[in-house]
Amino acid sequence: MPYPARDLSNPVFTCGHSRLAVGTPLLAGSAEESIFPRLTDTKQIGAFSVCRHGEWLLGQAQTPLSPDLEAATQLLYKDLLTASAGYSLCRIWNYLPAINKSGTHGEENYRLFCLARSQAIESVLGLNFPQNLPAASAVGTDNNSLSVLFAAHSGRTCHFENPEQVPAYYYPPEHGPRSPSFARATVLTSLDSKTIFISGTASIKGHKTSFPNDTSAQLDCTLDNLRLISATCGLGNNLAAEYAIERHFKVYLRHAADLDFVQSNLVRTLLLPSDQVSYLRSDICRADLTLEIEASIFTPLT
């Protein structure tokens, strides 16, 4: 099925005038996800363009895979931790070229990325790093650069796990030489509001893929996982549908042909007309996963 080759050129925020093209073609919905307003006051910290907005610190970096994906990941993550030092990390977005292809030693690129990310974070934060990991996503990109964005804040964060999923940082070695480094959700409480970042959510129960390559069943399982993490974060079963100030969703589809089915299902089961939603064509981190959904939600304090 043909799809418009437009890119979601601003995946999360714009630092100064630099708009990152992360290489996930837009299938439907909003061409921009503007979680934060246009930001100024950009400075460069290592590979990251960093800007401040109130108590928020936002950073974005894009780098070629040189000399390889592992080296590029190590460098970016060390820079990310330097740039965000003194702040609470709330959310990280990762975009990987050829995410399901094999790289060095025949290992899949996503697994190499997980290895290098984990090593880099451990080298800076020490062995107890899993308890400080924020919400994240790691999806494929059609371009040749590794892109990483982060949102950090000077306030306090709490991280949450889905009771029906093994925490990703405890996944067993069958999923790769080092486990993925992220929490299922991060809640930031500031003076008058809460921001809830729900990580990329897919059809995984325990640590195993449920319904490999079956988009319809994976969608039901993903919605179930979204309900479970919603309740765990204190948002009820429906991601604060009744009282949220703003809700943003990104839906990543491996197969563009699944768009109509997924979109009509989500309009029935999950979405409100006021939600900001983007449907993107992207490979997912496991070859047998066909979709992933992430959410960022702003609520009053209550």
Could you say whether residue 24 binds ligand 3EB (CB under 6 A)? no
Q: Which of residues 125-144 bind ligand 3EB (CB under 6 A)?
A: 136-138
CA distances from 106 to 143, 175, 183, 252 (A): 21, 14, 28, 26
Report, in angstroms and rounded to the nearest whole number, the Rg of the chain calculated over CA atoms: 18
**Facing residues of 39 across strands?**
15
Q: Which of 20, 285, 293, 295 binds ligand 3EB (CB under 6 A)?
A: 285
Contact between 121 and ligand 3EB by CB under 6 A: the answer reads no
Residue 59 engages ligand 3EB in binding (rule: CB under 6 A): no
195/186 Cα distance (integer angstroms): 8
Q: How many chain residues bind ligand 3EB (CB under 6 A)?
A: 12
57 is a site residue for ligand 3EB (CB under 6 A): no
11 binds ligand 3EB (CB under 6 A): no
109 binds ligand 3EB (CB under 6 A): no
Residue 254 near residue 284, CB atoms below 8 Å: yes
Q: Which of 26, 180, 252, 280 binds ligand 3EB (CB under 6 A)?
A: 180
Q: Does 252 bind ligand 3EB (CB under 6 A)?
A: no
| Residue 224: its H or E element | helix 215-232
CB of residue 278 to ligand 3EB, shortest distance in Å: 17
Report whether 36 contacts 188 (CB < 8 A). Answer: no
End-to-end alpha-carbon separation of the chain, Å? 45
263 contact partners, CB below 8 Å, separation of at least 6 = 28, 251, 279
Active site residues: 292
User: Cβ closer to ligand 3EB: 120 or 168?
Assistant: 168
Binding site for ligand 3EB (CB under 6 A): 94, 136-138, 168, 180, 182, 199-200, 202, 204, 285
